[in-house]
Amino acid sequence: MNRLVLAAQVQEQGTTRYTPAGLPAVDLTLLSESEVVQDGHPRMVRLDIRAVAIGQQVCAQVRSLSLEARKTFTGFLAPSRNGKGLVFHITDIHD
């Protein structure tokens, strides 16, 4: 299963663009900071992740967010268009 749930804040938000299929899309950079337990030891994890919202509803949700708004983002990972790295495709946003 390819599903990602990430608590993060919006660092950067691009302008609305359109996919070749005519769907609206917004590129984002998200910042996630959290403490996880690895092998019984706490570890602080901080990461920037490239993300994209595609479609009317999720783009409207993204557009309503202020920079540095902390939310829970749900979606999936896919290869980037240039094949270098991964992009988090956001399908839903929660408080």
Q: pTM for the whole thing? A: 0.90
User: Residue 51 in contact with residue 39, Cβ under 8 Å?
Assistant: no
Looking at the domain 4-94, which fold is it? OB fold (Dihydrolipoamide Acetyltransferase, E2P) (2.40.50)
Per-residue pLDDT tens over the stretch 75-85: 999 999 887 89
Distance CA 13, CA 28 (A): 5
Q: What is the pLDDT of residue 67?
A: 86
The mean pLDDT value for 37-47 works out to 95
